[in-house]
Amino acid sequence: MLRKLLFLCCLPLLFLVGYAAVRHAPPRNSVITVEVAPKSAKITIDGKKAGVGNNKVFAGKHTVKISKEGFSQQAQTITTQAEQTVYLGTALSSNSPKTQNWYKENPDDQKLSEGISSHQSDYDSQTAVQSNTLLQQLPISIGGAFGTTTIGSGIPVQGSNQPAIYISAPTATDRQSALAWMRNNGYNPATMDIVFNGSVTSFEAQDGE
């Protein structure tokens, strides 16, 4: 009887504690959008089952793991901000003879894999623009003795997922003027992929002309 009375007396306290915990829990106002191939792969976020598409999470660090038997597991730590949507696309690679021809034998997953690559590239480019003040200013035009020099941004060079800086200049002197403009505005061309007049040229060679 005493135990029953104690239990009944504690119920309001337990309710208040639970209510306070829920009330002060961080809001799930961030989204991790996941896209995977093969489409039957298992997805977890912070060790809990997740799915393809939008997954609501609280702002902060999260670990996303994608796995499927016969494929190499992928794990990535993502930091989200409040009201932010982060995209993560992954096409798993085979690590078994049984799955080495998976994409060839499963055209739907092959098509999905190609789409993921394109979506991830678009997302990376958009993110780079949002976080890079130089890219936000481009394109610009600079007058020169022999014509106009244009500085813009565009398709990443091979092996990079960041937009390249495209400089169209009529002379080597104008190229140097474009690089000088970048430095004078607080940017370091040596840390960027520079494409001169439509051809990828080594930065060191152009910088030393």
Its pTM surpasses 0.75: no
Side-by-side strand order, sheet with 60-67 = 48-50, 42-45, 60-67, 74-80
Closest by alpha carbon to 183, among 127, 128, 134? 134
Q: Which fold has domain 30-131?
A: Immunoglobulin-like (2.60.40)
Per the document, the length of the chain is: 209
- Computed over every residue of the chain, the mean pLDDT equals 82
Measured between alpha carbons, how far is residue 12 from residues 18, 31, 91 in Å? 10, 35, 50
Residue 166 one-letter amino acid = Y
- The residues with which 194 forms a beta bridge, in sequence order, are 165
> What are the residues whose beta carbons fall under 8 Å from the beta carbon of 108, sequence distance 6 or more?
39
Report the C-alpha gap between 195 and 175 in whole angstroms.
Answer: 11
Report the C-alpha gap between 168 and 174 in whole angstroms.
Answer: 9
Q: Where are the domains of the chain?
A: 30-131, 134-207
Residue 26 one-letter amino acid = P
Structure confidence at residue 74 (pLDDT): 95
Choose the weakest-confidence range: 9-18, 69-78, 118-127, 168-177.
9-18
Structure confidence at residue 2 (pLDDT): 53
CB 151 within 8 A of CB 178: yes
pLDDT over 70 for what percent of the chain? Answer: 78
Using one digit for the tens of pLDDT, what is the confidence trace for 128-179? 767 677 877 888 888 766 678 898 888 777 777 678 889 998 888 888 889 9
For the cut 90, the answer to whether the pLDDT of residue 63 exceeds it is: yes
Structure confidence at residue 207 (pLDDT): 45
Using one digit for the tens of pLDDT, what is the confidence trace for 82-135? 989 999 999 999 999 999 999 999 999 999 999 998 888 778 777 776 767 787
